[in-house]
Structures are given as C-alpha cells and as structure tokens.
Amino acid sequence: MKHKLISVAKKADIPKEYRNTPIGALLEYQNLDRSFDTYAQAKLLIGMCMDNRKHLHMPENFAFIIRSGGANLRSSEFKVSYAIGVGGVRHIALIGHNHCGMVNLISRKEEFINGLVKGAGWRKDAAEEHFLNLALMHEIGNEIDFILSETTRLRKRYPKIKVAPLFYKVEDNRLYCIA
C-alpha cells in the first residue's frame, strides 16, 4: 500500500480532524514552535518507539507517554486503559519513525544474541531462545504500515477515542501525519 506523509509547516497544514484537539496542539508544539500552554492534567496519550533519536518538544503535564519498540502498544494495553480510564485522555497520538530498529529484526539476530552473552552475562542458548520466542512478536515489518494497523486496532478497542497515526523523521525531528 502507498501512503502519503503530510508535512505540517503551518497551522493550516494540520488536518481538520486534528485542529483544536490535543493532537493538533502536539503538532504545533513540535513543528510550529507554539508557545507552551499550562496544563493541570494530561490531555493526550502518546505511544512512541523507545528509540533514542527522538525528542518531543511539549509542555509539562501535557501528555502520558508510553515508549516501546516500534510504538507497539499490544503489550501495553493496561497502561493505555489507565491513561483513558483514570487519566481522562480522549486522544492518542501513535508515532512511528523512520529507520526503526524493530524492522527486520532477524537481520540483527546474531548481534542481539552475542550482545546479551557479552554484555549481560547470558548463556548463549538462553539468549537464542529469548530471541526466537519474542522477535516475531516485536517485529513491525514496515514502520508506516505498522502504525496504521495499530491505529485500526486501537480505534476498534477504544471506539470513542480519537487515534492519530503520526510519523517522526529522525533527520529533521518533525512530526508528519500519515494519510
């Protein structure tokens, strides 16, 4: 499937459905240098990759953030439910990014295993088993397709919550909307 990334360089670029929502505010903070508002409680739940190359520019208290490889929230459901049920958020921004390490995990199998043996003191067979048991569950295939499938899954699971599929480019530190 072919998907389009919508760049947001001015307020009018923000898709209508996100304008005047916490998702629009996130896009403005990150891309448009909007001055920070004051928040007494979180307005948004952000799901994003654990990757170290990404930094979000936003005010304190604005958002809950769950970070996990590939922005995969499948094993974080309780935390998502908590942010909604107790935290009161009604919007989720799901942020994928380019050059994600959760793509093509099999190519990093040896590195993964040897790194655990050398760095963490694991036995080789234990490290191998660990990789084989869990790599498939964490593989995302393609960054954009995965974010879209996670978006669909979360929209079904939480029908009244607005979920926005977004994309972070590590070269320019900007957020893009996935159309």
Residues that bind Zn ion (CB under 5 A): 49, 51, 100
Please state the closest distance from residue 5 (CB atom) to Zn ion, in A.
16
Residue closer to Zn ion by CB (options 11, 99) is 99
Residue closer to Zn ion by CB (options 138, 162) is 138
Please state the closest distance from residue 19 (CB atom) to Zn ion, in A.
28
Please state the closest distance from residue 48 (CB atom) to Zn ion, in A.
8
Please state the closest distance from residue 160 (CB atom) to Zn ion, in A.
29
Cα gap 127→71, rounded to integer Å: 24
Residue closer to Zn ion by CB (options 82, 112) is 112
**Residue 41 in tokens:** 């409680």
Q: Which residues fall within 8 angstroms of residue 88, CB to CB, at 6 or more apart?
A: 41, 42
Cα gap 136→116, rounded to integer Å: 18
102 neighbors 139 (Cβ within 8 angstroms) = yes
Please state the closest distance from residue 161 (CB atom) to Zn ion, in A.
23
Residue closer to Zn ion by CB (options 32, 56) is 56
Residue closer to Zn ion by CB (options 19, 67) is 67
**Residue 84 in tokens:** 């909604």
* Residue labelled with tokens 């760095």: 119
Core vs surface per residue 20-44: b (16+ CB within 10 A) or e: ebbbbbbbbbbbeebeeeebeebbb
